[in-house]
Amino acid sequence: MRILVTGCSGFLGSEIVRQLIERGNDVVGLSRRETPDLVRLGMQHHRGDLSDVEYVHRTVSDVDVVIHTAAVAGVWGPWKHFYVNNVVATRNILAACQSSGATQCIYTSSPSVTFAGGHQSGIDESVGYPEKWLCHYPRTKAIAEREIIAADTPGGLRTVSLRPHLIWGPGDPHLLPRLLDRARSGRLRIIGDGENRIDTVHVTNAAAAHVSAIDALASNPDNAAGRSYFIAQDEPVKCWQWISQLCEKFDAPAPTKKISYQAAYAIGAGLESIYRSLRRSDEPPMTRFVAAQLAKDHYFDITAAKERLGYRPTVTMTDGLAKLTT
């Protein structure tokens, strides 16, 4: 089986590549950055832009499976930037898979595609998309996810969408450095009552979910395909207690000062308006989406992933934290 991983230079994509190579798959990686460490392991690397239709079709033409992790994440930025990289790129991948005869397309989505700013306490995939969005990232990911699921074709291309939440682990270039930087600069505040519960997922587990999806689509496609799946540790934690643990482990001051959710949300809305009017490209220090994510529950029922994909988290929260490095 020849497998293409888009976004292979990313935190999740590179771990997926390592797990696939370890089990003996023939892996092709696509990214804009060089990946000499993965090439040394045996991955064939292509550099390119997913908005280039001809390039995408040429790269997908000789693979059996595409794992599409490449995306632009974030809570701030112009609509076109998110739309081109998250929607147009996915459409190009889908079209290439359909024309080449690829058998599987596994899409890396996000639980934020269902998030409208309220509590999400143990929800499953029956929860639909919101009518209003707090930023462009979840909206564009939802558009792409819809099209991935709609493209599932019995007897042809089988598709799934995976929604890993707050990926962390060794080498994390996003979540952990950002938290620690804010804590050390004194800019981290507990938003709300500090009791909200969240799900996360260790990068090893998130990557393993993608590998499990390949096997499930191959062995029982009618049971697994054409669906979205929440992917998490299955160990919800209190958000601010977990953040304090991370701060303690890395000798950063744990946040103690609080701000109400209503105040943080209002500040975020105001800053968004100011930054938009000034056409500033840098991210505001607070946004409505960030305020809601830090104050509300967002943990998930992953029964579907367990039963239909055979997904099982193997790295626990305790073990993952013990081995975590920056």
Element (H, E) at 173: none
Question: What tokens does 215 get?
Answer: 């096997």
Start-to-end CA distance of the chain, whole Å, equals: 34
Q: List the catalytic residue out of 55, 129, 137, 229.
A: 137
The Cα–Cα gap between 152 and 179 comes to 38
Q: Residue 158 in contact with residue 225, Cβ under 8 Å?
A: yes
Cα Rg of the chain (Å, integer): 19
Taking CA atoms, 57 is separated from 42, 47, 118, 144, 155, in Å, by 23, 14, 40, 18, 21
Instruction: Give the pair of three-digit tokens for residue 325.
Output: 């490095």
3-state secondary structure of 140: helix
- Of the candidates 186, 188, 190, the one whose C-alpha atom is nearest the C-alpha of residue 259 is 190
Q: Is-catalytic flag, 137?
A: yes
Question: What tokens appear for 179 in the block?
Answer: 């938290």
The residues assigned a catalytic role are 137
